[in-house]
Structure 1
Amino acid sequence: MGIHVENQQVVIKSDVLLKGTLTLPSSKEDLLPAILILAGSGKLNRDANAEKGKFQFNIYKELAEHFSTIGFATLRYDKRGVGESEGNFEKTGLWDAVTDAANALEFMASHPNIDPRRLIVMGHSEGCIVGTALYAKRPFHGLVLLSGGGGGLRESLDLQRQHLYSELKHAKGLQGFIIRKFNTLDKSEKQAQATYRKLTASNKDVVRIAGLVKMPAKYFREHFDFDIVEGLQQIACPVLAINGSKDFQSSVEFAKRIPENVQGPSKCVVVENMDHGLKEQLTPLSPSTYKKDYIKRIGKPIHEEAIKHLDAWLTEWKEGSFQVAGEK
C-alpha cells in the first residue's frame, strides 16, 4: 500500500495570477514540512512538460509524488505565461521569477497544513539561479540545487557553446572541412557576443535580432547582471547540490563555489551517468543531438542515486541534524 496523496489545484497571487499544484501526503503530522519546486528554463509547465510535442518529461510531478512518500508537502506552479498562469513569458525577467517564487513561498507558509518554519526551496537548472536569488528577498530553511547549483546563466550558455564548438572542431568529412576552411566557429562566437551586446544594451523587454528573431532582452539582461557568488554568500540555511557527470548544460566546477560561499552547511554530490534531466545516461551525450537523447529517456525514472541522496539529506534536514549559521 502506498501513501495516499492529495493533489490540490491552487491559485498563487503574485504580480499576476499563477496556477499550481499543491501535493499533500496523508500524515500524522499536524503541520507538514514543505518543498517549493522551481522549474528550469523554457516553456515547461509545473510538471516539466511542454504544451505540445514530445517534451513531456514529468520530472517535477515525479519528484512531488516521491517526496510525499517521505512526508513532505510540495508546491509546483506554471511560470508566467506558461500553462494556466497569467502573464507574458517573453517579457518575464529574473526578478519577476523571484517575485513569483517569493509569493509561492508565502502561499505555502500561510497554508493550514504546512509548517511555516520548515520550508525548502528546490530549484532545477535555471530554478537553481532563481532559488539562490530568492533567499535574500524571502529567506527559507533549506535549499536544494539540481543540475545547476553555483552557476549563472551567461557562463552556463558560454560553457554549452564551447562544448558544441569542441565537438564540431573534430567533425569528419565535408562538415569538418568547411568548419576548418571557413573558421565558422570563430564567426559563430563573434555572432553570439554581438547578440549579447545588443540584448544587454537595450532597455526593452523584447528585441529583434537581425530584424527577425524575437529575443527576451530583459530576461538575459537581468540574468547577466546577477552575481551568483554574491547570491550564494547571502544563504544561511543548509544546502544540497546534486549534479550529473553526463550533464554538459551546467558544470560541476560551478558547484564548488557553494561550500566556499554559503554560510550554512552544504553538501555537493556528483551522480555518475546522470544527465541534466536527472535521468540515467549510459552513452556519451552530444551537444548537437542531446534533445533526441532526452526524448529517448522520457518515461524512465529519475536516477536512483539522485533519489537516494535526496532522501538521505531531506531526512537529516527534517530531523534537525544540521547546524545552521547563527544557531548554538
Structure 2
Amino acid sequence: MKKLFLFFAVMPGLIFGQDISGTWGGTLEVMGSSLRIVFNISSENGQLKSTMDSPDQGAFGIPMDNTVFNGTMLKITALQIMGEYEGVISDSFNSFSGTWKQSGMKFPLNLKKTNESVTLRRPQHPQPPFPYEMKEVTFRNEKENITLCGTFTYPSQKEAFPAVVLISGSGKQNRDEEILGHKPFLVIADYLTRNGIGVLRFDDRGEGCSEGDFSTATSQNFAQDVQAAVDFLKSQPAVIKDRIGLIGHSEGGLIAPMVAAADTSIYFIVLLAGPGTSGKEILIDQNELILKSYAVPDEEIRKKQALNMDLYEMVINAKNIEKTKEKIEKRIFRQLKKENSANLSDDILKKQAASQAEVLCSPWFRYFLTYQPANALSKVKCFVLALNGSLDLQVPADKNLSAIEKILKESGNQKYTIKKFEGLNHLFQHATTGSPAEYVKIEETFSPEVLEFMKDWMMSILK
C-alpha cells in the first residue's frame, strides 16, 4: 500500500492584466473515476504562485513549479509529476476551459472560481477525551543506531496487560498509517486499548520524528525497527512480557512473521492483507487487477504486464545495479515517448523515466521482488490470525490466504485462523469494486466487524 510523496520547488509565475487570485476547482474524468482538482492561486509582488489539491487522492497544498496568466491563457506546470494545465478564461472571468496533461495523456478540465473548502469526512477517527492513558515515546534500534518515536496507548487500570506493536504497509508511513485522510492505525489502537490491550504505533524510520534513512532500507531493516519496538514493550513494567503480539498490514504482514520467527517470545501475530506469495507475484497480480478496475482494455493490460515483467527480470538478474538502472531508464523513456499523446517534452519524459527507474532499482524494491514469505512463516510457531477482504486488489485474498495456510500447515503450525471478509478492500473498508480510486471516497476507515473479530480472537488466546 504506497502513499504518494511529492516535492516541488516553487517558482513564481507572472500576472498580466486581470487578477485571478483565488480558488479554482474542477473535475477530471479518468478511467471511469471522477477526481476533484483544485488550484489555489495567489499573487505576491505582481507574480503568481499556486498550489494544487486533489481531495479524492488525499493530497493538499502541492506546490506548482510555474504559474503564468497572460490575460487570456492560464498555464500551470508541475514538472515532477509531468503535469500541466492549460486553460482559456471566460469572458466573465469566473471560469477556465482547458486541458490537464500528465504522463503522456490529456483530459478535459474546466475550472470555476469557488469559495468552498474541501473536507474529508472520517467519522471513525476517535476524539478526546480518551478512557485510557497515552504517552509519546522513543526507543532505540541499537543495531542501526537510530531512534524511533511513536505513541503508546494503554489501559488506565493498574493491572498488567498484553500489548501489541502495529506494523505499517509499504511506503514511508506515519504512526497512524495515514493514507488519503484515513488513519487506520489510530482507529485500531483506540479500539484495542479501550478493550484492555496496550498498543505501540510508531513513525517509520525517516518519517515524523523517527531517525534513519528510509530510501536505503529493506523489509529486513524494518523488521529490526519492529524488534526494537517489541523490546520497548518488554521494558514497560505493566506489560505482560509473554503476551506481546504483532499486527501487520500489507507489507507489515510480511514483516511480522520475520520478527516472530526470530523472537520466540512473540505470543501471536495478526496479518491484515499480508502476502503469502513472492513480491513479484504480488506486483503482477496487483497491476492486472487494478488496471482492470480502471477499465483498461485487455490488450493494453497485456502489453503493460509484459513490459513490467521484463523490467522485474532485469532488476532480479542485475549484476551491476547502476548499469541496469541506466538500461531500465532508457527502456521506460522509449515506452513513454511511444505513448506521449499529450506531446510532453523529452525533458519531462526523461525525468519520469529516471524517477521510475530509481524506484525499480531501490534496495527495498529489489528485496521485495524476490522475497518469499514462506522463509519466515514456515518458522513461526506462535498463534497466527490471517485476515483479508474479498475485494482486495493489492494483495488478492484467495491466493494469498491459501498460500499462508499452506505454509503454516506444512510447517506443522496448527495454531492459526484464516478468514476472508466479503466486500472489504485492501484497507478493510466496505467497498463496491475494491479499486484504490474508492479509498478516499469511503468515509469508513476500518471495518467494525474486523475490529471486533480481531479483538475476540486475541481475547480467546490471551486467556
Q: TM-score, normalised by structure 2?
A: 0.60
AA aligned to 2:457 is W
Alignment of 1:2-13 (within 5 A): 4-13=131-140
Aligned alpha-carbon RMSD (Å): 2.4
Higher relative contact order (CA 8 A, sep 6+): 1
Question: Do 1:204 and 1:218's aligned partners in 2 also have CA atoms closer than 8 Å?
Answer: no
CA drift of 1:84 comes to: 1.7
| 1:96-122 CA distance string (max 9 Å, x none) | 111111111111111122111101110
Task: State the partner residue of 2:344.
Answer: none
- The structure where helix makes up a greater share of residues is 1
Gaps in structure 2 of 5+ consecutive residues = 1-128, 331-353
Q: Which has the higher strand share?
A: 2
CA distance in structure 2 between the aligned counterparts of 1:203 and 1:137, rounded to whole angstroms: 31
CA contact (8 A) 2:279 2:370 kept: no
Render the CA deviation track for 1:32-86: whole Å, top value 9, x for unaligned: 1001100011122110125xxxx22110011011101111001111111222211
The ranges of structure 1 where at least 4 consecutive aligned residues each deviate by more than 6 angstroms after the TM superposition are none
- Which of these residues, 281, 285, 295, is aligned with residue 159 of structure 1? 285
Match of 2:202 among 72, 77, 87: 77
Pick closer, same or farther for the CA change 1:68–1:236 going to 2, 3 Å.
same
2:457 to 313, 318, 326: 313
- The count of corresponding residues between Structure 1 and Structure 2 is 298
Which residue of 18, 31, 42 maps to 2:148?
A: 18
Q: What is the letter of the counterpart of residue 310 of structure 1?
A: M
- What does residue 433 of structure 2 align with? 284
With over 3 angstroms needed to count, the CA separation of the structure-2 counterparts of 1:120 and 1:264, relative to structure 1, is: farther
SS at match of 1:210: helix
Percent same amino acid at aligned positions? 26
Aligned mates of 1:273, 1:188 — CA distance in 2: 28
Tell me if structure 1 keeps the 8 A contact 2:275–2:282: no
Q: Where in structure 2 are the equivalents of 1:125-274 lying within 5 Å?
A: 125-139=250-264, 140-166=266-292, 171=296, 176=297, 180=299, 184-200=300-316, 201=318, 209-210=328-329, 212-213=354-355, 214-215=358-359, 217-252=362-397, 253-262=399-408, 263-274=413-424
- Mark the structure with the bigger radius of gyration: 2
**Counterparts in 2 of 1:165 and 1:60: CA distance versus 1, 3 Å:** closer
Alpha-carbon spacing, 1:5–1:152, altered in 2? closer, same or farther (3 Å): farther
In 2, the alpha carbon distance for the partners of 1:193 and 1:102 equals 34
Q: CA deviation at 1:187?
A: 3.3
User: What SS does the aligned partner of 1:239 have?
Assistant: strand
Q: Distance in 2 between matches of 1:187 and 1:226?
A: 25
Shift of 1:149: 4.6
* 2:277/2:372 contact within 8 Å kept: no
The answer to whether the 8 Å contact 2:424/2:434 transfers is no
Using the alignment, how far apart are the partners of 1:234 and 1:226 within structure 2?
Answer: 15
* Alpha-carbon contact 1:3-1:26 (below 8 Å) kept: no
TM-score, normalised to structure 1, is 0.83
